[in-house]
Amino acid sequence: MGFQSKRACQPQSIEMNPAMGPVPPMKSEDHTGLLRLRTIVRLRWIAVSGQAVTVAVVYFGFGFELPLPACAAIIALSGLLNIFLRIRYSARLWLKSRYATAMLAYDVLQLTALLYLTGGLQNPFAVLIIAPVSVSASKQPVRHTLFLGLLAISCITALGLFHLPLPWRPGESLSLPLIYIFGVWAALVSGVIFFALTSQRIAKEARQMSAALAATETVLLREQSMSALDRLAAAAAHELGTPLSTIAVVATELLRDLPPDSPQRDDLTLLKSQTGRCREILAKLTTGADEPDAIYSRMPISHLLEEAAEPYRVFDIEIEIEAGPAAGVKDDSQSAREPVGSRNPGILYGLGNLIENAADFAKTRVGISASWDRDAVEITICDDGPGIPPAILDRLGEPYVTTRAANKTDTGGHEHGLGLGFFIAKTLLERSGARLEFSNRQAPEHGAQVTIVWPRAAIEDAGEAAAPVSV
């Protein structure tokens, strides 16, 4: 079973509404890989303040000897740089990757110079050299973070070999064993690598989730536009009713005044009949928009599955649907009654997406089964295809997880393979109260299997979940 639907809405696509014109998805300026100047300036002010306070406490509070003028000059240089950047550029400026990397590289070198004057790796504040690399890993491309990581490791190595004595009481000195210094070096190098990888991974997942939720919001926005189209049709029907009535009255008056053998009589008769037909069509539109068919708006589980599967029966894949009470439920009990709920577009979209994926990867057959008892409703969708690759089985439901070739384009010009269709389907089903489980079928059978379980009350009250909700 695959994990990208042909109906998946891509963030850059534009859905055309025939009555309301183009409905573009919500857009925002792409700042991926960029850092705001204000962020770097504020972080540097925090560093400058901490460095200044630490040097003052060590020199004036503890009375330890250290090269105060040189330390003050290095700290003041960072402060002056911040002041220059704040005056010269707008705080809202987004820095390109190379400029942000240069700023963070300066912070690494500045801290290295300060540590060189104050004991090198013997200084407990040496751990702060990890911070610029972690900041870069959260926003910058991998190559820039790799450069900063190598720079930080080089500086850590240099500090382990070359540094002034650690500030200590006058007339005394503190010299730590070489094996301890090596341990600090190893800890700092490990910290640079670990925190960089962790920050990069967490930030990447956050960006993927944000983009996927934006795509989900676009799908829901499309559903809202379709609902607005229904209301627009009803309003148009009401507005057009009056002029059509006037045309019908005028045509009737003209027919009454014309002699029976007039050549215009047939034209007026046709005009009157067509006016009546237009009024009938508008009446149907008004009735359909204002008073939905109660039979169509509520449907049992078996009918819901039939509607979700119907678009995919045109494939050369057999789709079989079975529905009935769960094993052990008595046929004459209240629990055996088939659940009936409102026609929920979110559930239909989610089920349709899963059925489409199953049909795409099945060899000959897709099986859909539904069972229910007093407390729950369970739907299982399975196919006889190759199944779910074990490498991604535990990651299903995350955005951009797919077995399809990335950016594969179909004949309609739509891109597939980003894994957003499955994420959107899962999100919509979970909004209705469902719990999804993914697995491969037990041998000797083969193929993928998706199990969706709702509390029975959630299905029978699904009308409340049908309303579009912004993400």
Per-residue pLDDT of the chain (471 residues; tens, 9 = 90+): 444 443 333 333 333 333 333 333 334 344 455 788 888 999 999 999 999 999 999 999 988 988 999 999 999 999 999 999 989 988 778 888 889 999 999 999 999 999 999 999 999 999 999 999 998 888 888 899 999 999 999 999 999 999 999 988 887 778 889 899 999 999 999 999 999 998 888 887 777 777 766 766 676 666 556 656 656 666 666 677 778 778 888 888 888 877 877 878 788 888 878 888 887 777 766 655 444 444 556 788 888 899 888 888 866 888 999 998 988 888 777 788 888 887 787 888 889 889 988 888 888 999 999 999 988 999 999 999 888 888 887 777 676 666 654 444 443 344 444 566 777 788 888 888 888 988 898 888 889 999 999 998 888 875 444 443 333
Q: What is the DSSP string of 178-222?
A: HHHHHHHHHHHHHHHHHHHHHHHHHHHHHHHHHHHHHHHHHHHHH
* Triad 240, 244, 247: Cα angle to 5°: 150
d(CA 140, CA 33): 5
Q: Which residues face 320 on adjacent strands?
A: 367
Cβ neighbors of 416 (< 8 A, separation 6 or more) are 4, 6, 8, 404, 407, 408, 409, 410
- Identify the three-state secondary structure at position 384: coil
Closest CA to 381 of 326, 319, 429: 319
User: 444: cis peptide before it, omega within 30°?
Assistant: yes
Comparing CA positions, the residue from 374, 371, 377, 354 lying closest to residue 434 is 377
Spatial separation of the C-alpha atoms in residues 126 and 166, rounded to whole Å: 12
Domains of the chain: 31-291 (no CATH), 297-466 (3.30.565.10)
Residues 6+ apart with CB under 8 A from 352: 7, 308, 309, 311, 312
Helix, coil or strand: residue 420: helix
DSSP states of 134-193 as a string?
Answer: HHHHHHS-HHHHHHHHHHHHHHHHHHHHS-PPPP-STT------HHHHHHHHHHHHHHHH
Residue with token string 């983009």: 211
Handedness of CA 94, 95, 97, 101 (dihedral sign): negative
Euclidean distance between CA atoms 11 and 100, whole angstroms? 27
- The neighbouring-strand residues paired with 368 are 321, 381
Burial of residue 421, with CB atoms counted within 10 A of its CB: 0-12 exposed, 13-18 middle, 19 or more buried? buried
By three-state DSSP, how is residue 245 classified?
Answer: helix
Which of 27, 3, 5 shows the shortest CA–CA distance to 14?
A: 27
Please name the helix (run of DSSP H) or strand (run of DSSP E) that holds residue 66, with its range, or none.
Answer: none
* pTM for the full predicted model: 0.52
Distance CA 252, CA 368 (A): 58
Q: What's the rounded Cα separation, in Å, for the pair 423 and 350?
A: 9
Angle at 415 between CA 412 and CA 417, to 5 degrees: 135
- Distance from C-alpha of 372 to C-alpha of 456, rounded to nearest angstrom: 8
Residue 20 is encoded by which pair of tokens? 């309301």
The answer to whether 58 and 64 have CB atoms below 8 angstroms apart is yes
Distance CA 244, CA 277 (A): 10
Torsion sign (Cα): 295, 298, 299, 300: negative
| pLDDT value for 229 | 62
DSSP assignment letter at 307: H
Q: How far apart are CA 393 and CA 334, in angstroms?
A: 37
The C-alpha atoms of residue 401 and residue 239 are separated, in whole angstroms, by 49
Dihedral, CA of residue 181, residue 186, residue 191 and residue 193, to nearest 10:
150
The SS3 assignment for 261 reads coil
Tokens of 74: 């290095």
Strands 408-409 and 376-383: unpaired
